Structure 1
Amino acid sequence: MSDTAPQNKDIDPHAQAAQIATRVTVIGMILDIALGILKCVGGLLFFSQALFVDGIHSLSDAFSDLIVLAVMKASRRAPDQEHPYGHQRIETFGTMLLGSTLIAVGAALAWDNLERLFGSSDAPLPEWPILVAALLSIVGKEWIFRYTRRAGERIRSELIIANAWHSRTDAFSSVIVLVSTIGAMLGFVWLDALAAVVIAVIVGHVGWNFTWSSVKELVDTGIPAEEIERLKAIARETDGVHNVHELRTRKMGPDILLDVHLVVSPNISVSEGHQIGMHVVDRMRETLDDIAYINFHIDPENDDELEPTSLSLPKRQELNTLLEEKLGIPLPHGKLRLHYLRNKIHLELFLDEPFLSGHHDQLKELKGFLEPQPWFGSLRIWHGEPV
């Protein structure tokens, strides 16, 4: 049995999220292009190789923004026949690429500044306009970082959040430019290189976190153990649930996909078991908003503790034929109810009063025939229609 999250027909959440992501990414891209041109020109005019490289970094951010736009457009499409669970894994893959980019940027910055730290340079000293350009970059990139991160958290997009941190690496590198310029003017040229190495390590660490998180999601790593225990407790506390013997989860972009096996009384109807499952689903959704799909399976006994029911046990048609032969009459639909429990079959027959009175011997003979059968569990004969 399964359940799919209800959708508001008037508002497509995928389209709404894609619209927000597009808007914030385009704003960031425009800012990256403007700052990139400013820093490249300023670095060439005022003798700052660091600012020029920082400008290249900003322009590379604009290129990564284009990747984000393409990925978000693809990942936020509604589910279709070929992708019934949606396209969110495209976003996960995009997040992994961005995280890898952050690692590469961090490694490149670290290597470059280690060379500067242990090397020497006869280049002209940078001039004061470099400080202005670096400050503008720091303020602009910090603003776009906060704006983008808020949008990413709102639409629950790891890709947009990762892109926000990618923007902040540009602010970090601008801080390096600012420190290096001040240090060079004061005579402490080595100070900016040391700070650059430290910040490069931080940038690489952020990239590693995003990359590793994406890799774990792509290999279907479940949600944290404490959240799984919370969901199990909720299921067990639901009226009608005897136990939960299996609960599996996996992430798909911002969404959680969940499979749960619920143990209920073996004597209830299929519809009542389904209703109990729907109550579990409703309570789980109240606990975790990120759950997109829940597949629940209703079990009459705990499969983990008992031997699985054998497939060689007689099926309904075989039993129906056997009973009709022994009783000498055809059984109308619905007169026989079967329970497959503990590798035995428990039968319930619903017969009217005239039949019970006129076929007492046949019923006694039937019971005598069933008892020695290895698959037989019990036989109950009810007077009247099944309820």
Structure 2
Amino acid sequence: MHQIDNRPAIRRVLIITLLLNLFVLALKAGVGWWTGSLSLLADALHSVTDSASNVLGLVTNQMASPLPDRQHPYGHQKYEAIGAMGIAAFLGFACLEIVKGIVERIFFGGQLVKMSAPVLWLMLIVLGVNIFVAFYERRVGKRLGSNILIADAQHTMSDVWITISVIAGLIGVWSGWQWLDLVLAFPVALLVFRSGWKVLQENLPWLVDEVAIAPEAIQAIAMQVPGVINCHQIASRGLLGRQVFIEMHMIVDNQDVASAHQITEEVENLLEERFQPVRVVIHVEPQAYQSDQISF
């Protein structure tokens, strides 16, 4: 099957979100410095990871071509998974920074935050930009089947909750409740950790070649083709919806190579129709061969 290279579309989205994240970063850092708010400065630090994630995504996107070449006969798509893992690492770093800020404020305190209505309006603008980026990236990422965009959207969504927490804390500070910002920092740290863990769970199986499709499901489809006597030693790897590689051994009810080839072609077509895109390798065994070992 002809594979579509979505990298230009993904790169365009990453550039747009990078510019928006840089705008948000500058706004948070400026307001944080102006008000003396540690929570805002910590939030700006988290936005640094947003921009770094976009840059990382652009680098890996350039390298993650789905098309094979001589040096990479299985394509280059794992570069994108590596980029997503990098985003998970950035999320972990942001979580540690939040926890560090909480501990420092508990034991060492901090200066009073200067609050005003313009500060809240600026933070609402930041919140609106973050929400737009998160939903925009997730929508395009699902449409293009891009792990890097979906992971980055998850990252930005964690920033949305952090910004909401910061706004609530600033409102509390304005009302005289200096402790509210500190209390809200704990669930924010948990949200950041959860986002990173989810990205890790979604991409690690791809990198370690975890089974992509249950061998029983592949066998059931292959056995639908007339002439297939048995298929065994079935293996699969990859990611459904992106690219799956399937290998199997098969016994067919035909004496000549041409007929056996026709049967394997029908099996490949059925698997392609069900799990596209896939690349299938079938090893035909002699009819006298026997095996009940579905998988390795």
- Tell me the TM-score normalised to structure 1 length: 0.70
Which string of whole-angstrom CA distances, capped at 9 and with x for unpartnered residues, describes residues 211-259 of structure 1? Answer: 243332222111253xx43222111111111122121011169311111
Q: Which residue of 2 aligns with 1:275?
A: 262
- 2:141 and 2:270 map into 1 onto residues whose CA distance is 27
> Do residues 91 (structure 1) and 77 (structure 2) align?
no
Counterpart contact for 2:213–2:236, Cα < 8 Å = no
- 1:283 and 1:305 map into 2 onto residues whose CA distance is 22
Classify the secondary structure of the residue corresponding to 1:242: strand
Q: Which residue of 1 aligns with 2:245?
A: 257
Q: Which residue of 2 aligns with 1:140?
A: 129
The 1:56–1:206 alpha-carbon spacing in structure 2 relative to 1, beyond 3 Å, is closer
Counterpart contact for 2:69–2:75, Cα < 8 Å = yes
Alpha-carbon shift at residue 149 of structure 1 (Å): 1.0
Q: Which residue of 1 aligns with 2:4?
A: 13
Alpha-carbon shift at residue 23 of structure 1 (Å): 0.9
| Structure with bigger gyration radius | 1
- 1:303 and 1:93 map into 2 onto residues whose CA distance is 41
Classify the secondary structure of the residue corresponding to 2:154: helix
- Amino acid aligned to 1:262: M
Counterpart contact for 1:138–1:174, Cα < 8 Å = yes
- 1:121 and 1:35 map into 2 onto residues whose CA distance is 24
Counterpart contact for 2:39–2:181, Cα < 8 Å = no
Counterpart contact for 2:158–2:195, Cα < 8 Å = no
Q: Which residue of 1 aligns with 2:217?
A: 230
- 2:210 and 2:92 map into 1 onto residues whose CA distance is 22
- Amino acid aligned to 1:189: Q
Classify the secondary structure of the residue corresponding to 1:79: coil
Classify the secondary structure of the residue corresponding to 1:13: coil
- Tell me the TM-score normalised to structure 2 length: 0.90
Gaps of 5+ in 1: 1-5, 307-387
- Among candidates 304, 325, 330, match of residue 291 of structure 2: 304
Gaps of 5+ in 2: none
> Do residues 200 (structure 1) and 186 (structure 2) align?
no
The higher relative CO (CA closer than 8 Å, separation ≥ 6) is in 2
- Amino acid aligned to 1:206: S
Counterpart contact for 2:63–2:76, Cα < 8 Å = yes
**Which structure shows the bigger proportion of residues in helix conformation?**
2
The residue correspondences of 1:213-228 to structure 2 (distance < 5 A) are 213-225=202-214, 228=215
- Among candidates 21, 33, 37, match of residue 32 of structure 1: 21
Q: Which residue of 2 aligns with 1:169?
A: 158
The count of corresponding residues between Structure 1 and Structure 2 is 291
Counterpart contact for 1:46–1:129, Cα < 8 Å = no
- Amino acid aligned to 2:63: A
